[in-house]
Chain A
Amino acid sequence: MSPYGLLPFRFVRFDAARTLVVNEAGEHQFLENDDFTRFVQHELPADSDSYLDLKAKHFLFDSESLAPFELLATKYRTKKAFLEGFTSLQIFVVSLRCEHSCVYCQVSRVSADRVRYDMTEETARRALDLAFRSPAPQLKIELQGGEPLLNFERVRQIVVEGRRRAAEEGRPVAFVVTTNLALLDDDMLLFFREHGVFLSTSLDGPEELHDANRPRPGNDSHARTIANIRRAREALGHDRVAALMTATRRSLQSPREIVDEYVRHGFTSIFLRPLSPYGFALRSARSTGYPMREFLDFYVRALDHILELNAAGTFLVETYAQLLLTRMLTPFTTGYVDLQSPAGAGIGAVVYNYDGDVYASDEARMLAEMGDTRFRLGNVHRDSHESIFGGATLRTIVAASVAESIPGCSDCAFLPWCGADPVHHYATRGDLVPHIPTSDFHEKNFFLFKHLLSLYERSPGARRIFASWIRSGDAA
C-alpha cells in the first residue's frame, strides 16, 4: 500500500477497458480498469506514470504540502466564477406580439392589441432601475419578444436610457436585440449602428424547411431573414449579426443541409438546439416534437459534417459543443445560464416581461404564459429589488439546482462540467429536482460529454478543430 490520500473525484466506466476519472475542478484522466482499481485501493506504484499523472492533476496527494489543496481550491473557485458577479444577463420582453407563428413557439401572439401585449414606457423604466441595481461588473441587456421590432419605441428607450446609465456608472453594457429581422428598416439599422447594438436572429435551414418551421403572412420568412442579415451586416459589421436554429421533427432529416445553409450565408457559428418543451411547443409536441435520442442522432450527423467542413478549411463552430468543450478542457467556466450549478435562473439571468412581471428565466416566463406562475419573482411596479432577488421563490430555485446535491448528479463523473435546469425539469416532469433516468436534459448532456470526449481523444483532427473553437470563444 502506497501512503497516499485521495482527493475528491468521480468516475465512470468509459468503455470496456477504461475508467474515466474527473476531479472537482473538472480535470480528467483515463485509467485502465486495473489501474483504477489499484488507484482506489491505494496500491498504485509511486513511480508509475498513472500515479504521477493523478498526482499532478490533483487526484491524489502524498506529502504534507499545501500545494495540491491550494491549487485545487483556486481551480474550483475559477470554475465557479460565474457566481461572482450575480445577475448580468437582463432580458426585456418588450412585446409579446409577433407576426410570425412558428410551429415551436414559445407563447407569442399574432395580435394588433398593443395596449395588452406591449411593454409600457413606465414598465421599461422600472425594469431598467432593477437591472442597474445588479452588482454585476458588466451587464448584457437583451431585448426580445415576441418580436421586439414591433415595439421599436421601447427598444429605443431602453437602449438610449441604458447607455446613459451605463456611461454614468462607468459600467460596460452590451445590447442584443433578438429579432426575426422581417420588419427591419433603415431607421432601425441606423439606430443600431449608432448605439453598437448586436442582432441575434433565427435561421432554421434551407428555405423550404425554414418557412415550414416559421410561417408568417406571405410565407417569406426565409427570404426576408436572408436579405436582412445581409443588410444588417453591411450596416453594422459582419460579426454583429448572429443566428441560431431550432430543430423540429422535420429538421431532423436534414442535418447537412442546415449546416450548409449557415456556411452559404457566411456564418462562422451555428447553434444546434432541440425544441424547448414550453409554450405552444409542448402543445404541438405531437406534430413537431421528438424523443431526445432522435435529436442526438441528428446532432451527431450535423457535427460530423461540421468537422468535415472545418477539416477542409471552412471555419464553423457548433456553439453548444464549444460551450461543453470549454467547460471540459479549460480551467474556465462559461456564462451559459442553462448549464451551471447552481443554475443561472435568476442569479445569472432575469426576465422582465412586457407586463412588468419578473421571471427567473425565459422558460419560467413561458410557463407563466401557459398559466403556471410558480417562477414569477415579482413585478417591477410592486416589488423591491430585495424581495425579487432575495425572496423565497428564487431561493427555492437556487437551492434545488445545486447539481452537487441532486440524486444521480452528485456522483456523476460529468458533474463538474454539467449543471442543473430546475425550471426545465419542473415544466417537463413537475419537479424542480430531476429524475435522472428519465431526464432528457441528462440524456442530452451525458451523451454529448461522452461523444465529444471520444472524438477529442480518438481523432487528432477533431482535437485541432475543437481547440480552435475553444480559442475562438476566448475572443468573444
Chain B
Amino acid sequence: MRLHETARVAGIEHTLIGRVTRTALGDETERTNAWLLAEGSALACDPAGYLGILAIGDAAAFSGLRGAFGLRQLSYLDDGDVVAVDPNGLVRTLYRRASMHNFILVTDQCNSLCLMCSQPPKAIDDFDRLAEHLRLLDLIDPATKELGITGGEPTLFREGFLELIARCRERLPSTALHVLTNGRMFFYRRFAEKLGRIAHPDLVLGIPLYSDVDTRHDHIVQAHGAFEETVLGLQNLDRHGVRVEIRVVLHALSIPRLPQLATFIARNFPFACHVALMGLEMFGLVHRHLDELWIDPADYQRQLLAACEVLGDAGMNVSIYNHQLCVLDPELRPLSRKSISDWKNVYLPECDGCALMSECGGFFQSGTKLRSAHVRPVGRPQTPSNGV
C-alpha cells in the first residue's frame, strides 16, 4: 500500500488539495474541491469545474486537463479521501475516510530529541504547512470518529496550533481529537489557558513522562529542563480543563523506577484520564541507542505489574500498548490494547497455533528482528492439576 507516490503533473503551480470522487458531483462548490478519479481512459463526467484529475492512464488521454497522471494504482482511494498534489509531482494521501488512524503531522520540528524517537525531528522551518493543515480540516468528513494531531512537536506552531484546534472544533465538532505533544509549551500558563478557552468538546493531549526524577526524564528526552516544563504543563492543562493522557515508553532507562513513576503520577496527576504504558517501537533513533535502551520485556514484568497495581489502586485508567501477550504477565493481559494499527502488524513463525493470536497486537514489521526472547504460542488455559 502506498500513500505517497509520484506522478506526472499538469497545470499544478502550487500544491492543490482536494477530496477524491469517482462519480459526478452535483454541487458546484464541491466540484471545485474534488479530484475526479480516472482508472481507464474514461471519465465519469465532464471534468470542467473540478479541481483536477487523478489518473492511472497517461496524460495524453486527458490533454489540456489539470491533474496527476500515470499513477500506479488508485484502488486504495475512496470517495471522500483527501489527496494533495504538489507541483513536483508528489501525490500525497492526507486522509482516508475509511481509516481509524488518520492524523495530521503538523511539523517535523521538535524541541526534544528523545533517545527512542520513532519519528526523528528535522531542523527545518516548516511553519508554512499550517495553511495546508487548515485546508485539510475543511475537507475532512465531519462524520470522522477520530483524528490525531502529531509531529514533531505540534505546539511549536504556537498560535497556529491553537488555530488548528479551533478549526477542528468548528469544522469537526464530533470528531475525537488526540494530540501527541511533549506538553512543554503548556508550562506557559497563557498558552494552556488559550487552549482551554477553545473548549474543544472531545480533546485529549497525550503527553509523555518517563521518570519521576527530573534528570532522568531530561536525559531520555535529551532536553535540559523538559521535566519541569512537562510536569507544570500537565498541571496547567488540568487547571484550564484540558484532558490529558500520560504516556510512558518502557525501556532500560524508564523501567528501574517505573513503580515510583506510577506513584508520582497517581499523586501529582490523578486527573489524567488515561495512562498508557508502551513497549519500545523499533523505529528511528532507537537503533542508535539500543545499548542504553534495550531490555527484554520478559525481564520487566515485575516492575510493570507493580506500576499497574499502583495506578489501578489509585483508580486510574491504565493500558499497555505494543506488547505481545505471550510476554506479558497473565495478570496484565487484560490491560493490553491492540494498538499496532492493522496494516502494520505481523506475526512470527513461533506464533503459529497461539490461542491468543486474535487478541494480540503482534509485532511492528520493523520490530521482528530485535524482540523478546520469550515469544511463544500460548495454549488455552489448562485445568489446574496437582503436582508438577
Contacts and interface: CB of A to CB of B under 8 A. Distances in A.
Contacts of A55: 213
B231 A52 contact: no
Contacts of A27: 267
A467 B214 CA distance: 28
B313 A331 contact: no
Contact of A71 (B260, B266, B268): B268
Contacts of A75: 267-268
Interface in A93-146: none
A67 B231 contact: yes
B98 interface: no
Contacts of B228: 65-67
A66 B236 CA distance: 13
A89 interface: no
A474 B270 CA distance: 12
A428 B31 CA distance: 86
Interface in A71-92: 71, 74-75
A241 B372 CA distance: 53
Interface in A419-476: 463, 467, 470-471, 474
A131 to B, nearest CB: 30
Contacts of A66: 228, 232
A208 interface: no
A56 B231 contact: no
Which of B213, B232, B257, B313: most chain A Cβ within 10 A? Answer: B313
Given A67-B228, A470-B313, A56 B270 contact: no
B214 A63 contact: yes
Contacts of A471: 313, 315
A56 B264 contact: yes
A53 interface: yes
A332 interface: yes
Contacts of B315: 470-471, 474
A471 to B, nearest CB: 5
B260 A330 contact: no
B227 A56 contact: no
A474 B271 CA distance: 13
B143 to A, nearest CB: 34
A74 B260 CA distance: 19
Contacts of B267: 25, 27, 57, 75, 331
Contacts of A67: 214, 227-228, 231-232
A123 to B, nearest CB: 42
Nearest to B239: A74
B235 interface: yes
A65 B268 CA distance: 16
A330 B231 CA distance: 19
Interface string B305-317: 0000000111100
A386 interface: no
Contacts of B314: 330
A331 B260 CA distance: 15
Contacts of A331: 266-268, 270
A71 B231 contact: yes
B108 interface: no
Contacts of A239: none
Contacts of B231: 67, 71
Contacts of A467: 312-313
A65 B213 CA distance: 12
B235 A74 contact: yes
A70 interface: yes
Given A67-B232, A467-B313, A474-B315, A56 B266 contact: no
Which of A25, A52, A67: most chain B Cβ within 10 A? Answer: A67
A65 B224 CA distance: 11
A56 B232 contact: no
B316 to A, nearest CB: 10
A102 to B, nearest CB: 38
B305 to A, nearest CB: 12
A52 B214 contact: no
Given A53-B260, A56-B264, A65 B214 contact: yes
Contacts of A474: 315
A144 B15 CA distance: 75
Nearest to A61: B214
Contacts of A63: 214
Interface string A272-308: 0000000000000000000000000000000000000
B153 interface: no
Contacts of B313: 463, 467, 470-471
Nearest to A463: B313
B245 interface: no
Given A56-B264, A331-B267, 4 more contacts: A71-B235, A330-B270, A467-B313, A470-B313
30 contacts: A25-B267, A27-B267, A52-B212, A52-B213, A52-B257, A53-B260, A55-B213, A56-B213, A56-B263, A56-B264, A57-B263, A57-B267, A65-B214, A65-B227, A67-B231, A67-B232, A74-B235, A74-B268, A75-B267, A75-B268, A330-B270, A330-B314, A331-B267, A331-B268, A331-B270, A332-B270, A467-B312, A467-B313, A470-B315, A471-B315
Interface of B: 212-214, 225, 227-228, 231-232, 235, 257, 260, 263-264, 266-268, 270, 312-315
